[in-house]
Amino acid sequence: MIEIIPAIDVIDGRAVRLSQGDYASQKSYSDRPEELARRFEDLGFRRLHLVDLDGARSRHVVNLRVLEAIARATSLTVDFGGGVKSDADVESAFNVGAAMVTVGSLAVTSPDRFAQWLQTYGPERLILGADARDGKISINGWKEDSTQELLPFLQSYWQMGVTQVLCTDISRDGMLSGPSVGLYRSLLEANPACRLIASGGVSSIGDLWALDEAGVPAVVVGKAIYEGRIDLAEVSKSFNS
């Protein structure tokens, strides 16, 4: 059964959502992200995807206080990403409550450092972020497109021992247009053992079932929750029981 992971994206300490990574499109949903996280936990969810959007744009972690508040308020397994670029960023995230850290841009710009972190912390605590636009990896809050193609990028890190990948189709993110099921199916065909986390486009519980049928291990859900497209109690009953 696919694991459903609610998402909280943070700007200035607030829970917000963007469309296709456009910061000008931000919509605020809560000034108390920890209360949202507590609600998710009360409904039976065990995992949370927390994104520091300020960090992604600033190229260093910014919203550690939000991470710490959520870790204190809940027992959720939090994976944290956004602006993780240095040893200090990784250590700080783990020290204040992250169970896992998602690393995207640095894996493109400094593969040797990411490989070092993989050895230091182990593949169970690091998630490779692979955010793709038109088949190419995007970095730095999706403001820059690299020249690296998605599948070869993933294959190089699978060979290094990466087991967890968060893959976002940027064209679908925040658009409520349905996930890229075909893309995720092709990635799993390339590596069936990968703990693949889908992200982007989920608009209904039917999308979750489609990803489950495709064999996707986990999916991050954000805007569909906040816009009322998905009933969390129904999702929890269907997927967490």
Say if residues 210 and 181 touch (Cβ distance below 8 Å). Answer: yes
Query: How far is CA 82 from each of CA 54, 56, 89, 210, 233, rounded to the nearest angstrom?
Result: 8, 4, 10, 28, 28
- 3-state helix, strand and coil shares in percent for the chain, rounded to the nearest 5: 40, 30, 30
Q: What spatial distance separates the first Cα and last Cα of the chain, rounded to whole Å?
A: 10
112 among known catalytic residues: no
> Please, are residues 220 and 194 in contact by the beta-carbon 8 Å criterion?
no
Give the position of tokens 């065990």.
46
Residue entry with tokens 């609600």: 39
3-class secondary structure, 213: helix
Told to judge if 22 belongs to the known catalytic residues of this protein, a careful annotator would answer: no
> Alpha carbon of 129 to those of 25, 132, 162, 179: distances in Å?
22, 10, 11, 17
Bridge-based pairing state of the strands 195-199 and 136-139: unpaired
Residue at 162: amino acid letter? V
Q: Determine which one of 9, 89, 169, 207 is catalytic.
A: 9
User: Which residue in the list 79, 131, 173, 207 is annotated as catalytic?
Assistant: 131
Give the span between the Cα atoms of 71 and 68, in whole angstroms: 5
> Which positions are annotated as active-site residues?
9, 131
